[in-house]
Homo-oligomer: A and B are copies of this chain.
């Protein structure tokens, strides 16, 4: 059963749609930079809980995308080196057991890519479809995402355990979240992790 979230009565919260991210700022002034960045995000329609290790955000996929883009690009505009480690999850509310309404199998979603924000993002990205014995079944979605990344010029190859992306933050985030949300149309429980590096002094123009 392939459905988009808008075709169901299930809320993102019920379906366990959300992200957990850690924004790391490599500067003495990190406290104010992180707090300012978090304050710059439009939290409407989202549940946000900031803790000592990471920040949890739940809500519609598109709003999560917009919030992450606002928060990370705001911090990036200080010019300091930073990294963002983000976990996306869908299809499993709670980490030890899933409690879904009966009859729901898989719900996908679509992400509209925002305009470029002028922030170069280099990333290592991994996608994990869970609870399926044939992990190659989602490969067409991965290949499609990689093909899209190549056409945008942001695919930079495969490293151990992760795919390397390099491009405007809006495109990199959209690609990662789209692959995650589209895999979700075929697989109920899908997790993706990405580590994004911005303003690194070791940036090279390859």
- Tell me if A51 and B130 are in contact (CB < 8 A): no
Asked if A95 CB lies within 8 Å of chain B CBs, one says yes
Within 8 A of B (CB), among A124-147: 124, 126, 128-135, 139, 142
Task: Assess A20 versus B89: contact at CB under 8 Å? Given A26-B27, A52-B200, A128-B191.
Answer: no
Q: Does A81 contact B (CB under 8 A)?
A: yes
- Whether A122 is near chain B, meaning CB under 8 Å from some CB there, is yes
Q: Name A95's contact: one of B20, B31, B132, B158 (CB within 8 Å).
A: B158
Copies of this chain assembled into the complex: 2
Q: Which A residues are within 8 Å of any B CB, using their own CB? A: 16, 18, 20, 22, 24-28, 30-31, 51-54, 56, 58, 81, 83, 85, 87, 89, 94-96, 122-124, 126, 128-135, 139, 142, 158-164, 189, 191, 193, 195-197, 200-204
In the complex, A201→B197 CA distance in Å? Answer: 23
Contact of A162 among B28, B87, B164 (CB under 8 A): B87
A205 to B31, CA, bound (A): 20
Query: Contacts of A18 on B, CB cut-off 8 Å?
Result: 160-161
Q: Report the bound CA distance from A128 to B159 in whole Å.
A: 19
User: How far does the Cβ of A23 sit from chain B's closest Cβ, in whole Å?
Assistant: 9
